[in-house]
């Protein structure tokens, strides 16, 4: 099996590389960072040419525009990377009959349901970032059928910056940290996400999946758990979304229901607290 990873420098891409090295799986890691093969997924001709040359059995698209607030102004950039580029990969995959894995987000939902979102629920994004990810979902389904579309939430891992790492950095700088109480979902550890995805790839089971670590929490509960585990002595305060007045609207409740994952490939995602414990150990806490 030969696997092409786009966005391989990102936290999920790095954990796929570790997993495939352990499994002895051949892969080609691409990114615009030094040390990786270059592949501009926004250029259809280059994507087709690259895929034709290496003939991947599987394409895992870990590349994404994730600047949620900047996307309100740079919406064309977000739409291009998260939307049109997915179509490019779908076209290239169809020409090589590759199994294509693509990731979306809980931000495609408006958060008004009040209970976990299932794969049956209809998206209604609140932000340009959410719209860009939903565009990618729609274009993928329009141009190809041999794919797995995975929605996930609050992704964290050893590589790159994420909320968990930000909280740890804040703990070194501030004696008081304010965390949002009215934004609820579930953290997702990239190590677990990569393992779950690998099971889907091995079985080649197509379709839509929701994958996040089990149980839910607010940003406040998530951050407080990390701070307590690392021994933070400062004050942890509750705040609300409105207190920060960020450019992009976030769904207040966007927990994803993992129904369909265990039922299909027998993989159950671990509890988010247990995942955070492993993550903290991985980065030396």
Residues with a known catalytic role: 129
d(CA 267, CA 196): 6
Taking alpha carbons only, the member of 119, 116, 137, 112 closest to residue 251 is: 112
Gyration radius from the chain CA atoms: 18
Nearest partner of 142 among 198, 66, 90, judged by Cα? 90
Helix axes 272-282, 219-229, angle to 10 degrees: 40
Closest CA to 105 of 263, 256, 282: 256
Distance of alpha carbon 204 from alpha carbon 19, whole angstroms: 18
Complete DSSP assignment for 40-100: -TT-HHHHHHHHHHH--SEEEE------TTGGGTSHHHHHIIIIIHHHHHHHHHHHHT-EE
d(CA 183, CA 153): 12
List of residues 6+ apart from 132 with CB closer than 8 A: 65, 71, 75, 78, 79, 81, 82, 83
Yes or no: say if 7 and 59 are a contact pair by the CB < 8 Å rule: no
Report d(CA 218, CA 252) in Å as an integer.
9
């Amino acid at each position: 099996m030969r696997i092409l990873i786009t966005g391989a420098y990102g936290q999920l891409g790095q954990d796929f590389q570790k997993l495939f090295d352990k499994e002895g799986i051949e892969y080609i890691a691409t990114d615009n960072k030094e040390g990786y093969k270059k592949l501009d997924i926004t250029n259809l001709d280059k994507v087709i040419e690259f895929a034709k040359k290496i003939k991947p059995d599987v394409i895992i698209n870990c590349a994404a525009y994730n600047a949620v607030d900047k996307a309100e102004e740079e919406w064309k950039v977000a739409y291009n990377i998260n939307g049109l580029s997915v179509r490019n990969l779908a076209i290239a995959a169809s020409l090589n009959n590759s199994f294509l894995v693509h990731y979306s987000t809980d931000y495609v939902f408006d958060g008004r349901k009040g209970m976990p979102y299932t794969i049956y629920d209809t998206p209604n994004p609140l932000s340009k970032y959410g719209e860009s990810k939903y565009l990618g979902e729609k274009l993928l389904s329009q141009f190809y059928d041999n794919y797995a579309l995975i929605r996930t939430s609050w992704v964290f891992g050893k590589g790159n910056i994420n909320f968990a790492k930000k909280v740890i950095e804040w703990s070194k700088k501030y004696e008081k940290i304010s965390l949002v109480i009215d934004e609820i979902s579930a953290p997702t550890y990239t190590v677990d996400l990569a393992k779950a995805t690998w099971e889907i790839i091995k079985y080649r089971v197509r379709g839509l999946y929701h994958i996040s670590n089990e149980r839910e929490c607010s940003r406040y509960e998530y951050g407080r758990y990390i701070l307590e585990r690392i021994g933070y002595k400062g004050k942890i305060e509750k705040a609300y979304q409105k207190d920060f007045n960020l450019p992009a609207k976030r769904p207040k409740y966007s927990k994803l229901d993992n129904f369909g994952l265990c039922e299909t490939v027998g993989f159950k995602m671990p509890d988010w607290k247990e995942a955070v414990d492993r993550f903290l150990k991985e980065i030396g806490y």
